[in-house]
Amino acid sequence: MRVMAHKLYISHTSPFARTTRVVAREKGLMDRIEEVVVDPFQDPAELIAANPAGLIPALERDDGGKPMIDSALIAAWLDHLPSDKPGLLPAGGPERLAVRQVESLGRTLTDKSVNLVYEKRRPAERQHEFYLDRWRRQASRLIGALDGELALLRGPLSVGSIAAVSALAHYDFRHPEIDWRTPYPALAGWLDEMSERESFAQTKPYE
Ligand SMILES: N[C@@H](CCC(=O)N[C@@H](CS)C(=O)NCC(=O)O)C(=O)O
């Protein structure tokens, strides 16, 4: 008998999808999840059915519940499923808020990276210098803020540290001209160490 599984819509380049894929692996849930590779720009019907915005990641649940959108929500949902692995989001209190804050820093840094990718795809003469410059400056400040969170990042693995890895690795993948490693060697060393974990190695972005 075929066992129904969650369907997680992803691409091999999406840093938002990567966060949810790492959570799924760290929680030992991959036997319950089918990763469906899609190109969101083709507006595939199955993705639109799961996410009206047509963005990845999107999660079609195996229990008939409403599909879920947004990497942070999907990560929290996957983290709450029964698993014998450690939780990735503290249950409450200031610890939960601190992890969520770092997760937001990572996700917002990812927003800037993805914006830069799309803008750089436009013909050079139509690229908007104001926004390119603004997004790069926002990114550089967000990376500085993550550097200030190294104590939390070096602590137990969490949805915060996972979102931070996805974000920083996406700069190395898509924007090698942005040298964030020289000003932040400790953060760069942390990223390199984390990238060796199996869940990150298995989800390294590629075209
Ligand atoms: N806030 C969303 C952002 C998702 C997102 O922007 N995904 C990108 C891929 S990295 C996408 O699907 N882009 C297609 C588009 O912009 O049409 C999340 O955290 O999941």
Domains of the chain, each with CATH number or no CATH: 6-80 (3.40.30.10), 93-201 (1.20.1050.10)
CA of 17 to the centre of ligand 1 (A): 8
Question: What global pTM score does this model have?
Answer: 0.97
pLDDT band at 1 (very low <50, low <70, confident <90, very high): very low
Is 55 close to ligand 1, i.e. is its CB under 6 Å away? yes
The pLDDT assigned to 108 comes to 98
pLDDT at 2 over 50: no
pLDDT at 3: 53
When pLDDT is cut at 50, 70 and 90, the band that residue 107 belongs to is very high
For residue 118, count other CB atoms closer than 10 A to its CB: 8
pLDDT digits (tens, 9 = 90+) for 118-147: 999 999 999 999 999 999 999 999 999 999
Question: How far apart are the CA of 60 and the centre of ligand 1, in A?
Answer: 16
159 C-alpha to ligand 1 centroid (Å): 18
- Take atom 16 of ligand 1 and give the residue whose Cα is closest: 55
* Ligand 1: residue whose CA is nearest its atom 11: 55
Q: How many CB atoms lie within 10 A of CB 107?
A: 23
Q: What is the rounded average pLDDT for all residues in the chain? A: 97
* Ligand 1 neighbourhood includes 40 CB (under 6 angstroms): yes
The pLDDT value recorded for residue 86 is: 97
* Any ligand 1 atom below 6 A from CB of 111: no
Distance CA 35, CA 10 (A): 7
pLDDT over 50 at 22, yes or no: yes
* 171-187: average pLDDT: 98
Instruction: Tell me if 68 sits within 8 A of 57, measured CB to CB.
Output: no
What is the CA(1)–ligand 1 centre distance, in A? 35
* C-alpha 4: how far from chain center: 25
* Shortest-distance Cα residue to atom 2 of ligand 1: 70
Q: Which residues contact 138 (CB under 8 A, 6 or more apart)?
A: 108, 112
Query: What's the whole-number mean pLDDT along residues 161-170?
Result: 98
**Predicted confidence (pLDDT) at residue 181 exceeds the cutoff of 90:** yes
Segment 52-99, tens digit of pLDDT: 999 999 999 999 999 999 999 999 999 999 999 999 999 999 999 999
User: What pLDDT was estimated at residue 4?
Assistant: 75
CA of 51 to the centre of ligand 1 (A): 11
In the reported structure, the alpha carbon of residue 173 is separated from the centroid of ligand 1 by a whole-number distance in angstroms of 17
Handedness of CA 179, 101, 11, 88 (dihedral sign): positive
Site to substitute for ligand 1 among 56, 108, 159, 203, most atoms within 8 A of C-beta = 56
Structure tokens at 154: 């070096």
With the CA atoms of 22, 27, 30 and 36 taken in that order, what torsion angle do they form, in degrees rounded to the nearest 10? -40
